[in-house]
Every structure is written in structure tokens, then in C-alpha cells.
Amino acid sequence: MANSAVSWKLLDHPKLPKGKPVAVIVLDGWGEANPNEYNCIHTAETPVMDSLKQGAPDKWRLVKAHGTAVGLPSDDDMGNSEVGHNALGAGRIFAQGAKLVDLALASGKIFEGEGFKYIKESFETGTLHLIGLLSDGGVHSRLDQLQLLLKGAGERGAKRIRVHILTDGRDVLDGSSIGFVETLENDLAKLREKGVDARIASGGGRMYVTMDRYENDWNVVKRGWDAQVLGEASHKFSSALEAVKKLRAEPKANDQYLPPFVIVDENGKSVGPIVDGDAVVTLNFRADRMVMIAKSLEYENFDKFDRVRYPKIHYAGMLEYDGELKLPSHYLVSPPEIDRTSGEYLVHNGVRTFACSETVKFGHVTFFWNGNRSGYFNPQMEEYIEIPSDVGITFNVQPKMKALQIAEKARDAILSRKFDQVRVNLPNSDMVGHTGDIEATVVACKAADDAVKMILDAIEQVGGIYVVTADHGNAEDMVKRDKSGKPLLKNGNVQILTSHTLEPVPIAIGGPGLSPGVRFRKDVPNGGLANVAATVMNLHGFEAPSDYEPTLIEVVDN
Ligand SMILES: O=C(O)[C@@H](CO)OP(=O)(O)O
Ligand SMILES: [Mn+2]
Ligand SMILES: [Mn+2]
């Protein structure tokens, strides 16, 4: 549906009033799991979240936050922020990037599209470069998709291919990069047997090289640029396997933070800088951590760092990463068309909105919430505030992050009475959970709970309503488990889980403004994050559009 044809007017809810301020709090990476020593949310002192749970089943329940409930290919896929916030904001389940790329590869359509044709123009005389996250995590990219893309490019005339790897250790176990490099090297060897000159050219850890987001730290992208485009890095190796093994041993970096390296030939020359006439594909399907590199590859005028050399290339993203910026202008697979989000509807219906987080999650409650669209729907009705995140540290060092500052901004926005919806993301349990540092994650969870308290107190003061939920699990389970749920041992030690989980997440409603008869329905037992948007619309006094996933609440006469 073209937006101009949309009827934006929402029906009045037959029973619920308008004009109550609603706080929507998303705890990032806060799932529900059995209490045990690896459940940091359980270990942490979290009196506010504990008390909300006492409201079950009428005011507290669980919702699905992973797999097909959020548009991922299968129920073995853990949840993540992109698909979680997309579902929360859009109120419907869209087939997400991971799935769309799978389908395009399976049907072969990816090779017939405009994006592939565009990069193919370089195959005869140039090199095809593939840059992206090397793992089977399925959050940003997937190894099997890279393998199919490599094979397909080889079959369709790519003569020289260079892969620039970003090691993971965040969506998969730390140390697993070695196995992924081995697998990739096997594939590249097979391509070489078929006459394609295919090699890994550079690499680095995803959190230190290339995959920054929301412009938190351009140095991260610059490090990638230097290695990938200029072929320069202080660490030089003759193979990627050697690089990863050596850098893990000295300077003892983990997969997420491997320093940038380049692969060099016998003469010490980089085997794959990006030069005029080459083609480049950024192979991640997920948007947030590709927007910055896409800008650096695509924009003629660019001042975020000195690129030294700006090659004339044919660049395509795996997907279009920003629907509003139309970035990049060429892509292999069309992104999900997440239209008519709840944010856009509410703004059209007079709901004034405030959204806030710190940089590392800022786009989650704005860009992802609004269907991968940056910017305001109506600047007169909305205000988005970004609190600068700490830069250059791993968040176990500062596990409280900016939770307090986010809560203060939300509190002030609520007390100002200038807004009908005040929406925040509290990053702690996720960002610190990803470090695998259990003690710090416990501190992080408490900090998030403190922040929730401050916001709920403000809602209490203005007679408002709160909705507290999360986007996926993380901190509630910090250990890799076998199928039966027992911690998996390796060389006698448990393996720390840095990734998200498959667990459901809580949702709680309440506040003095909540009409007395409101409670969670019993007839949406499989409710997921996509059911939250209709719920929030109801709390603003509106019926949700008929094609939205059903609301989680009902109003009973007391
Ligand atoms: O940090 C990220 O990019 C992902 C994990 O890969 O986490 P989240 O989905 O919570 O943003
Ligand atoms: Mn998240
Ligand atoms: Mn995360």
C-alpha cells in the first residue's frame, strides 16, 4: 500500500480513554529463565521487576521474542534487537532479512536482481570483495549465505574474489572464529580449483573493526577501511587462520575485539586492497551495523574520517540498510517492507512521542521501532534524544552505562506533560551480557531495574500508564547448554554464552492511569512482541488497525 493511500485515522477504543501518558520501557536483552547461577537477572537485586512479576497473570505475562514469532527463518533462531524492535513498533510479523536472503538464494533470484547485475559489471576486469560478519549466528549474517553467494559469483564469472572477514564471538561462542575461518578457507580452495582466484584479504573483530553503529565511534569503521580498502594494518599474516590464532594468543584478544589484520603475499604486499573498477558487497543483512560502512563506501562527499583513497567501485549491500536514506543505492535483496508502523499511526492521531536511549541503542527505539527508517514522522510531534555512550570500552567496565541518564530524561519528559508516549531502551542487560562477564552483568541488571523505578515513579506522579517489556533474552542465561539444559563442559569448564537466547520476555502493564478493568487476555497464549503495538495503541485510547497482531489486553467490567 502506498503511504498516500493509507487511512491514518485510528478508531477510538470503545472503553479506554485518551490522554494518559504512557511509558514504554524496553529492557534490552532481558529474558525469563529458571533461576540459577548463570541467570544474572535472578542473581541481581531487581525489586522493581520482581514486584511487576507479582502482577501475573493479569498484569504480567511472557511473550515470544525469537524465531518465527519475530519473522526469523526458524524457531532455532535467537531473537535480536532489530527483529525485536521491528515487531514491537510495527505490530505485525514481517519476514526479516535473514529469511528474505535465504529465499532469494534458494530460488536463485538474488543473481538475477539489479544489485547482482550491477556488481557483475566488475567481474571481467575487477575483483569482487565481500565484507561481513563470519559466523552462523544469524543475527547479522550467516555463513551458509556467504558460501552460496561465493559459489554463485564464481559460477557467474567472478574471476578474482577477496573476502574481508569480521570475526564474531558475540552471537556465537568466543573462539569459534577459528572453525569458521577453516570452513571458509575450504570453500575458497574449492573455488580456486575451479580457476577463481579467491582468498581472504583482511579481517578484524566485529566490535573493533567496521561494525560500529549509530555513529558511536567512526574509528571502528576507519580501522576496517584501512585494512579492507587501503590494505594497511599493523598486523600482517600470510593466512587468516594464522592471524586469528596468533591474535587470540597475543595480544590475547577475543573474537569480538581482534585487531585489524591484512593478509600479505611473499613480498609483504596486501593481497586484496579495494581499487578502482572493483565490486564490493557488504554481506550482512542486518542494517544497524552496516549503515556506517555503507556511507563510507557510497558517499562521494564524506568527512567522518580521512579515506586517503576513494576507489570508484560498484558497491551493493546484501540489503538496503536505510529505507529513508535509500542507502546503499544498490542491493542484492529487497528489505522487508515494514510500513504503517505504530509510531507513524500514533503521530497521525495526535500522540506526541518522546524516545530516548544512549547511542549504542538509540536507533533501536527510533530507527528499528519505525521500520528501519531514520528521522521523524513529524518533528512537531516527536522528540528523540540520544545520550552519548561511552566510547572505546567494553561495557563490563561500566556496567551501569547511561541507564540513570536515560531514566532521568524519561522522567523529565513525563513530568513535563509534553508527551503522550515516552519510550526508552535500557541497554544494560544486553550490552554487558554480551561481554560474558557474569559479575558485571549482575550489576548491569540492577542498574536497569533502578532506571525502571525512576520512570515508574514519574508515571505514578502524573497518573500515567507503563508498559515494561524487553526485546529478547540475554542476561538471564550466560552459559552454553546441552539439549537437556545442562551447562555444556569443554575441557572441564563451562562455556560462557555471550549471545542472545531463545527465551521469552516479560511484559508488564500498570500505573494509576490504567483503567481498572484492564488485564491480559487469556486467549493469546502464543503472543509475541508483535502483539505489543496493538496493546500500546489501546492504552493510548485507540483501536489498532485490523491487520495488526491482536492486542494482549482486554477490559472487563469490575
Ligand atoms: O550487538 C549486536 O549487534 C547484537 C548482537 O549481534 O545485539 P542486539 O541485537 O541486542 O543489538
Ligand atoms: Mn537487543
Ligand atoms: Mn544484543
477 CB near ligand 1 (under 6 Å): no
How confident is the model over 87-133, as pLDDT tens digits?
999 999 999 999 999 999 999 999 999 999 999 999 999 999 999 99
CA of 80 to the centre of ligand 3 (A): 6
139 CB near ligand 1 (under 6 Å): yes
Whether the link from the prior residue into 328 is cis, omega within 30° of 0, is yes
Q: In this structure, what are the phi and psi dihedrals at residue 482, rounded to the nearest 5 degrees? A: -85, 180
430 CB near ligand 1 (under 6 Å): yes
Mean pLDDT of 138-157: 98
Instruction: Indicate which atom in ligand 1 lies nearest the CA of residue 471.
Output: 10
CA of 452 to the centre of ligand 2 (A): 17
Ligand having the closest approach to the CA of 172: 1
CA of 546 to the centre of ligand 2 (A): 28
382 CB near ligand 1 (under 6 Å): no
Task: Give the Cα separation of 412 and 231 in Å (integer).
Answer: 49
Pocket test for ligand 1, best of 72, 96, 136, 171 (most atoms within 8 A of CB): 171
27 CB near ligand 1 (under 6 Å): no
Task: Give the Cα separation of 456 and 458 in Å (integer).
Answer: 5
* pLDDT exceeds 90 at position 4: no
Category of 539 on φ-ψ map: left (φ > 0), alpha (ψ -120 to 50) or beta = alpha
CA of 130 to the centre of ligand 3 (A): 24
Alpha-helix residue ranges (DSSP H) falling in 108-239: 114-120, 143-155, 177-193, 218-228
Task: Give the Cα separation of 225 and 57 in Å (integer).
Answer: 52
Q: How buried is residue 481: exposed, middle or buried, by Cβ count under 10 Å (0-12/13-18/19+)? A: middle
User: Is the separation of the CB atoms in 181 and 200 below 8 Å?
Assistant: yes
Kindly indicate the confidence band of residue 529, based on its pLDDT and cuts at 50, 70 and 90.
very high
Which set of grid coordinates corresponds to residue 82? 532489530
Whether the link from the prior residue into 251 is cis, omega within 30° of 0, is yes
Active-site residues: which are they? 81
80 CB near ligand 1 (under 6 Å): yes
Pocket test for ligand 1, best of 136, 170, 474 (most atoms within 8 A of CB): 170
Nearest CA to ligand 1 atom 3: 289
Check: pTM over 0.80? Answer yes or no: yes
Q: Which residues pair with 479 in a beta bridge?
A: 496
Kindly indicate the confidence band of residue 6, based on its pLDDT and cuts at 50, 70 and 90.
confident
Kindly indicate the confidence band of residue 549, based on its pLDDT and cuts at 50, 70 and 90.
very high
Instruction: Indicate which atom in ligand 1 lies nearest the CA of residue 289.
Output: 3
Nearest CA to ligand 1 atom 8: 81
3-state DSSP call for residue 229? coil
CA of 482 to the centre of ligand 2 (A): 24
CA of 430 to the centre of ligand 1 (A): 8
171 CB near ligand 1 (under 6 Å): yes
ipTM over 0.95: yes
Provide, rounded to the nearest whole percent, the portion of the chain with pLDDT above 70.
Answer: 99
Among 238, 301, 235, 225, CA closest to 271: 238
Close Cβ partners of 10 (under 8 Å, ≥ 6 residues apart)? 345, 346, 348, 349, 537, 542, 543, 544, 545
Which set of grid coordinates corresponds to residue 547? 491487520
* pLDDT exceeds 60 at position 3: no
81 CB near ligand 1 (under 6 Å): yes
Instruction: Indicate which atom in ligand 1 lies nearest the CA of residue 430.
Output: 10
Task: Give the Cα separation of 298 and 280 in Å (integer).
Answer: 10
Instruction: Indicate which atom in ligand 1 lies nearest the CA of residue 474.
Output: 10
Q: Which residues of 196-209 are buried (b: 16+ CB within 10 A; e: fewer)?
A: bebbbbbbbbbbbb
User: Is the separation of the CB atoms in 129 and 165 below 8 Å?
Assistant: no
Nearest CA to ligand 1 atom 5: 171
109: how many CB neighbours lie within 10 A of its CB? 13
Q: Which residues pair with 353 in a beta bridge?
A: 382, 421
What is the largest distance, in Å, between two alpha-carbon atoms of the chain? 82
CA of 427 to the centre of ligand 1 (A): 10
Mean pLDDT of 238-246: 98
Alpha carbon distance, N-terminus to C-terminus of the chain: 41
Q: Write the DSSP symbol of residue 363.
A: T
Close Cβ partners of 252 (under 8 Å, ≥ 6 residues apart)? none
475 CB near ligand 1 (under 6 Å): no
Pairing of strands 421-426, 489-490: unpaired
168 CB near ligand 1 (under 6 Å): no
Which set of grid coordinates corresponds to residue 26? 524496553
Give 385-429 as a DSSP string.
Answer: EEEPPP-SS-TTSSTTTTHHHHHHHHHHHHHHT--SEEEEEE-HH
Instruction: Indicate which atom in ligand 1 lies nearest the CA of residue 472.
Output: 10
Mean pLDDT of 339-353: 98
User: Is the separation of the CB atoms in 478 and 37 below 8 Å?
Assistant: no
Provide, rounded to the nearest whole percent, the portion of the chain with pLDDT above 90.
Answer: 98
170 CB near ligand 1 (under 6 Å): yes
CA of 188 to the centre of ligand 1 (A): 28
* pLDDT exceeds 50 at position 1: no
* pLDDT exceeds 70 at position 509: yes
Kindly report the average pLDDT of the chain as a whole number. Answer: 97
User: Is the separation of the CB atoms in 378 and 39 below 8 Å?
Assistant: no
